[in-house]
Amino acid sequence: MSVAAFGVSEVGVNLRNLQNRSVAGMRRGVRRFLDTVGEQSQVQVPRITGALARSMRIRIQENPVSGIISYDMPYAGIVHEIPRPPESNGKWKYLEDPFMKELRSSRAWSPLRSSQPSTVVAHDRHVRRG
């Protein structure tokens, strides 16, 4: 008995093309998600000099596809974590609140909207100036 397979090389090419398109789509989705979080966060971030708001960065990493949104000032973590009086400008949790709101409302993240608690890890990088 023998089996003849035709088009095997074409299948390989099609699978590679599908993978490339899938990864590109994931990058676009992560970018769109973080851009939305960033826009909402910019409305909430406290502004005195504007330096904190201007320090927001969004980075998309390639492998695996992931993204980072951060505020890159030495005091960003402190401002984020300490409650502010209602009459002050901006609010605390200026990044976490928009992130969680978008996460809960996003169709792309629907598996994470279950009743199970989700964990968000925030990294606070302190910069020491010498």
The tens digit of pLDDT for each residue in 78-105 reads: 999 998 877 778 889 999 999 999 988 8
How high is the pLDDT of residue 25? 85
Per-residue b/e over 29-45, b at no fewer than 16 CB within 10 Å? ebeebbebbbebbeebb
Please give the C-alpha separations between residue 93 and each of 45, 104, 117, 130, in angstroms, as whole numbers: 8, 16, 18, 29
d(CA 79, CA 92): 6
pTM: 0.70
How high is the pLDDT of residue 6? 64
Residue 55 amino acid letter: S
Contact (CB, 8 A) for 96 and 71: no
94-100-101 Cα angle (round to 5): 90
d(CA 78, CA 80): 5
Binning pLDDT at 50, 70 and 90, where does residue 118 land? very low
How high is the pLDDT of residue 17? 75
Strands (E) located in the chain: 56-61, 66-71
Residue 122 amino acid letter: A
Q: Which two tokens stand for residue 93?
A: 């949790």
Binning pLDDT at 50, 70 and 90, where does residue 122 land? very low
